Structure 1
Amino acid sequence: MIRYAIIFFIIAIIAAIFGFTGIAAGAAEIAKILFFIFIVIFLATLLIGVFR
């Protein structure tokens, strides 16, 4: 999942360079959402591993 967040972040950077601000904003939002989902899943699995 972190891979997809990085991919969308790179797409956002490239789109911003070429002036496609709408696409850049959308890709950045998707990357942000995927990153936070990754963090939540990571912390959940970390806690499950600690309490096992």
Structure 2
Amino acid sequence: MGQAQGILMAATEIDAEATFASLQRLSQHHNLKPRDVAEHLLTTRTLPEAR
């Protein structure tokens, strides 16, 4: 999660708390575990797309 937050922080210039909240929202929206959203971001450098 920390590395994924770092990627988002660098890309969006928002703080750690806001990036964590964004990852949580994405995980709920896509029905994925937060670690799966983070792993997707780390491997693809993109956020999950809508299903």
Please classify the TM superposition score into its range, dividing by the shorter chain length: 0.3 to 0.5
Q: TM-score, normalised by structure 2?
A: 0.38
Larger radius of gyration: 1
Q: TM-score, normalised by structure 1?
A: 0.37
Bigger helix fraction: 1
Higher relative contact order at CA 8 Å, sep ≥6: structure 1 or structure 2?
1
